[in-house]
Copies of this chain bind each other. A is one copy, B any other.
Amino acid sequence: MSVTAPAGFSATGASVGIKASGVPDAALVVSARPAVAAAVFTQNKAPAAPVQTSRAHLATTGSVVSAVLLTSGNANAATGDAGLAACSALCGDVATTIGRPSDEVLICQTGLIGIPFPIDAARPGVSTLAATLGHDEAAAHRAATAIMTTDTFAKEVVVERDGVTVGGMAKGAAMLAPDMATMLCVLTTDAVTDPTTLQRALSAAVAPSFNSMDVDGATSTNDTVIVLANGSGVEASESLLTELLTEACMKLAEDMVTDAEGATKAVRITVTGAASDAEAHAGARKVANSQLVKCSLNGEDPYWGRVLSDIATARIEMDPSTTTIAYGGITVSAGGVGVDHDAAAVAAHMAERWNWISIDLGLGPGTASILTTDLGYGYIDENRTTS
């Protein structure tokens, strides 16, 4: 069900002519009653037109949102005033069809950067999107499918507890990095809450999930996570909301890493024993961002020397003599040197789709995990050219 699981939400997806191939490229999520919203946007200093537009709309309405339009196939980034005008037109078209003010429509877009958005081609299709809105699983799946770019499967989630439901959908692919990936995510909930609480819960949910993925160190121009709470259900405490949103975001983040562009491995890098959580995070990110480590994961080679060398340049407190490194829980290095270990067990672990490298610095209580991928031919094939 994903985004239509909480009461009062409908969704759809269709082809509106942005992608020349004719595959679905636009999705719409609508709340039957204006919802309270919260959002986390990219920190990129060249944010795409849809990011600028959605930020402005949230500010104007005080975070009241009735619909989110998502398109794929063109990022509408580095497109100047024409890009902003396109966003205005599209939000206006959706607003007209659902009978709400234009400012209550948010917009997310993903695709190539720096190419003029084909607004004339897209408007007729966007204007008729609302006609196919549905509350069922098929409608939600149409929406999740229409936002895919190089994703190979739709990413959907539903979590429920204590009478509160959270649904979500996302698209990932490459550029999964510092402070969000090239990713879009829309979450819905029937919880009764207020914008401030919802924003705190969303920010807390994004930190260990989308902000702890790193496929290639790139932060996109378009990254957006939006949650709509339409209050058709019961009141939710901040802690319950945070829990549910975190669960939903973690599941979608794991799906994204599993499906990252051209990757053959999904990898969790865990650092423990750091001086602080922040230092653990920096160390895990440095290892996750290492092309050398990522190549060795592609080759299923437990080259722990690179892991040690990388964490030793993370500009965090560390000492090789207190550092332990394990693959799949099997210690391969301790005190800065290799140790005897069951090589067959390590090889069996590395042959799996999910790999796990854990690094204990033996210094303090700090801990963090980063999700990443290997680096192989597939990534290069996807990213050599835009054509």
Contacts and interface: CB of A to CB of B under 8 A. Distances in A.
Interface string A331-357: 001011110000000000000000000
Interface stretch (A4-12, A14-22, A74-82): A74-82
A319 B320 CA distance: 41
Interface stretch (A134-142, A213-221, A245-253): A213-221
Q: Which of A75, A218, A219, A338 has the most CB of B within 10 A?
A: A218
Contacts of A385: 296, 299-301, 303
A112 interface: yes
Contact of A384 (B174, B216, B298): B298
Contacts of A290: 216-218
Contacts of A380: 295, 298, 375-377, 380
Given A216-B292, A377-B377, A178 B305 contact: no
A204 interface: no
A228 interface: no
A239 interface: no
Contacts of A44: 309, 312-313
A374 to B, nearest CB: 9
B336 A78 contact: yes
Query: How many copies of this chain are found per oligomer?
Result: 2
Interface string A357-387: 0000000000000000001110110011111
A175 interface: yes
A237 to B, nearest CB: 35
Query: Among the interface residues A44, A75, A221, A291, which one has the most CB atoms of the partner chain B within 10 A?
Result: A291
Contacts of A383: 291-292, 295-296, 299
A333 B114 contact: yes
The 9 closest A-B pairs by CB, nearest first: A113-B305, A299-B384, A114-B305, A295-B383, A46-B312, A299-B385, A45-B312, A216-B291, A80-B337
